[in-house]
Amino acid sequence: MTLTRRTVLRTGAALATAAGLPAPAIAQAKKISFLTWNIIDQAELINGWIARFKASRPGVDVEWLDKKGPEIPAFYQTQLTAGTPPDVINTQGALGLEYAAQGALLDLTSYLAAESAIKSRFNQDYLANWTLEGRNFMLPFYITKTLLFYNKTLFSAAGLSGAPRSFDEILDAAARITKGDDSGFLTLNFDWLYWPLFAMNGIELLSQDLKKPTFNTPVAAGVVERLAKATAAGAINKISWTGRWVEPNGAFATGKVGMLHAHSPAYFFFKGQGSWVTPDTLGVAHMPGNYATPNSHGLGISKGSKNPELAWDFLKFITADDQAGELATRRKLITGNAGVDTASLAALAKTDPLVHSVLKTQLEHTDKMVGNWRLGNDSRVKEAFWPELQNVLLGRKDAKAALADADRKVERELKRA
């Protein structure tokens, strides 16, 4: 028999096993890599998870990689091209659906069907955010959706007693608050986060089958025109349409803006900069109609993983109660693990009532999430729609003309899909 390196290793492993000795490490070793989205500040937590995972599974290794949000797409694409994608990947928003549509992610539907207890641990509305054509591609890691923050001091000065309950009331409150350096309303605009403003007016971006644009209507033109007029008057802060994250949250932190429509992590940003933020001065509410846009973080497995079963085992491990509970406690966030989130909120109600009021909204009215179409080309549709809308909101283009142009561009992207 010709002795090859593989034969020697296999024979050595068999002899060692027969002698009651551990097999050679190279024969036992299995390794996966774990790519996360800008949570290097949680190194102690992540490394602790990996250490526990490895200790309970001898011969297993996990390499942790962390990249900033703007770096992840380029890094992941490079690794896909090289045939060495990270086994487990953490993405934000609809990026996971785009990877799924490209064939980069492993279909988890059969895994979840085989282990119903794993599927049932999650909030099902959030789990569904990563379904494409009825197939599951990711699990919740930590979850967020938008809500309305408002400055009670500015509201009181304007004679307003509570959060607006309609689109008309948003614009009215914004106008009444606006004077001098004070403006009435801000929204985050990336990843469809502004879409509740359209949903509360009955405007749909696409048909139910996601095949045709449906937003080019007189109602939509009227809504966009009203938003543009409020922006020109200063009632809606222009940063709503020009900033991304730092700028709108920083503006709200100054205490000179009445309302901020953003997802829950924004609280920790503006709280860190705004000394005025207290339970007495900050109001927390749902947007009118209880509409909200999710912008959550999910966990998936690369289809090119050499050890998909081990990767699935790791996914189950880090979303289990112990690990999810640690993440919820350290980061003060919602994990999507329903049992963990219930316990975490109960604790926060006693220790930090304001954070509790913010995070509680994340588990309410999850059936009213919008702007989360199951599109494998989400970014291209967004890039077709947003610039035209921005042109109107900043006074550069007529609403009807812009929506007509956006309609043609979106339809073209849908046909390309």
Give the pLDDT confidence of 208-218 residue by residue, as tens digits.
999 999 999 99
**219-236 pLDDT per residue, tens:** 999 999 999 999 999 999
Other C-beta atoms closer than 10 Å to the C-beta of 101 total 18
Q: Which residues pair with 301 in a beta bridge?
A: 88
Who has greater pLDDT, 378 or 4?
A: 378
Rounded to whole angstroms, the Cα distance separating 302 from 90 reads: 11
CB-based burial of residue 360 (10 Å sphere; 0-12 exposed, 13-18 middle, 19+ buried)?
A: middle
Helix (H, G, I), strand (E, B) or coil at 37: strand
What is the pLDDT, as a whole number, of residue 7?
A: 37
Q: Residue 151 pLDDT more than 50?
A: yes
In angstroms, the Cα distances linking 388 to 14, 47, 147 are: 67, 45, 25
Q: Residue 2 pLDDT more than 90?
A: no
Q: Residue 270 pLDDT more than 70?
A: yes
Q: Do you know the residue count of the chain? A: 417
Please answer whether residues 332 and 265 qualify as being in contact, where contact means their C-beta atoms are separated by less than 8 angstroms. no
Q: Which residues pair with 206 in a beta bridge?
A: 213
Q: Which residues pair with 37 in a beta bridge?
A: 67
Calculate mean pLDDT across residues 262-291: 98
Q: Residue 120 pLDDT more than 50?
A: yes
Q: Lowest mean pLDDT: which of 8-17, 97-106, 117-126, 337-346? A: 8-17
Please answer whether residues 415 and 252 qualify as being in contact, where contact means their C-beta atoms are separated by less than 8 angstroms. no
Rounded to whole angstroms, the Cα distance separating 174 from 310 reads: 53
Rounded to whole angstroms, the Cα distance separating 168 from 400 reads: 21
What is the pLDDT, as a whole number, of residue 6?
A: 37
Average pLDDT, the chain: 93
The string over 306-335, giving b where at least 16 C-beta atoms fall within 10 Å of a residue's C-beta and e elsewhere, is ebbebbbebbbbbbeeebbbbbbeebbbbb
Please answer whether residues 126 and 336 qualify as being in contact, where contact means their C-beta atoms are separated by less than 8 angstroms. yes
CATH superfamily of 19-144+295-357: Periplasmic binding protein-like II (3.40.190.10)
CATH architecture of 146-293+377-416: 3-Layer(aba) Sandwich (3.40)
Confidence of residue 176 (pLDDT cuts 50, 70, 90): very high
Calculate mean pLDDT across residues 261-275: 97
What is the pLDDT, as a whole number, of residue 29?
A: 66
Q: Which tokens sit at 243?
A: 């900033």
**10-47 pLDDT per residue, tens:** 433 333 333 334 433 333 469 999 999 999 999 999 99
* Closest-CA residue to 141 (of 93, 208, 100, 106): 93
Model-level pTM?
0.91
**66-102 pLDDT per residue, tens:** 999 999 999 999 999 999 999 999 999 999 999 999 9
Q: Tell me whether the CATH fold assigned to 19-144+295-357 matches the one assigned to 146-293+377-416.
A: yes
Q: Residue 105 pLDDT more than 80?
A: yes
* Closest-CA residue to 329 (of 354, 350, 349, 347): 347
Domain positions in the chain are 19-144+295-357, 146-293+377-416
Rounded to whole angstroms, the Cα distance separating 212 from 137 reads: 24
